[in-house]
């Protein structure tokens, strides 16, 4: 049987991970995050499609393209979490399980980060646990897809 495909999408500026603001986001780079996700996916026997974009429209198109292709979406929408009704609409329309990940604890930060439009379209949110949060999200998404947990 073919392995389930989980999209792991990353929003704007996450390509800067590890290069700036290590006190907020740690020292791991986006390549390190991808490696962690690839190793975790291997262990869980799922396939991943790991991507990053700075463009809101591109992120929305990627979400739309998941229909009929992927079985779940893990997304760190970065700054678009706090601004994008359009991204929320895409996530609601795609009709797949969604887990939102944030490396930092957005609730301990500036008030404008406390609200995420995306959360309304997510089954669950992992935030503040650093880069390992991506591995936790992959584990949870695999359980959701394979065992139909939470759906």
Q: Is 49 annotated as a binding residue?
A: no
Closest to 6 measured CA to CA, from 141, 144, 151: 141
Q: Of 71 and 102, which has the nearer Cβ to ligand CA2? A: 102
| Nearest-angstrom CA–CA distance, 4 and 41 | 10
CB of 115 to ligand CA2, least distance (A): 10
- Contact footprint for ligand CA2 (CB under 6 A): 13-14, 16-17, 20-21, 25, 76, 78-79, 81, 102-104, 106, 113
Q: Is 76 annotated as a binding residue?
A: yes
Residue 80: active-site member: no
Residue 102: active-site member: yes
59-62: long-range pairs with CB below 8 Å, 24+: 59/9, 59/11, 59/87, 60/86, 60/87, 60/90, 62/7, 62/9
CB of 22 to ligand CA2, least distance (A): 8
Q: Residue 73 phi/psi, 5° resolution?
A: -130, 125
Catalytic residues: 25, 102
Q: Residues marked as binding for substrate?
A: 76, 82, 89, 103-104, 113
Q: Residues marked as binding?
A: 76, 82, 89, 103-104, 113
């Amino acid at each position: 049987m073919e392995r389930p495909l989980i999209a792991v999408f990353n929003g704007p500026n996450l390509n800067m991970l590890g290069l700036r603001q290590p006190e907020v986001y740690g020292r791991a780079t986006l390549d390190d995050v991808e490696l962690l996700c690839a190793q975790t996916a291997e262990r869980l026997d799922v396939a991943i499609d790991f991507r990053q974009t700075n463009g809101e429209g591109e992120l929305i198109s990627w979400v739309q393209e998941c229909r009929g292709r992927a079985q779940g979406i893990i997304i760190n929408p970065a700054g678009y979490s706090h601004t994008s009704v359009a991204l929320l609409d895409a996530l609601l329309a795609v009709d797949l399980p969604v887990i939102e990940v944030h490396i930092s604890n957005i609730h301990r930060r500036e008030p404008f980060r406390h609200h995420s439009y995306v959360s309304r379209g997510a089954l669950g949110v992992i935030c503040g646990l650093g880069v390992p949060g991506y591995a936790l999200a992959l584990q949870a998404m695999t359980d959701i897809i394979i065992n139909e947990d939470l759906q």
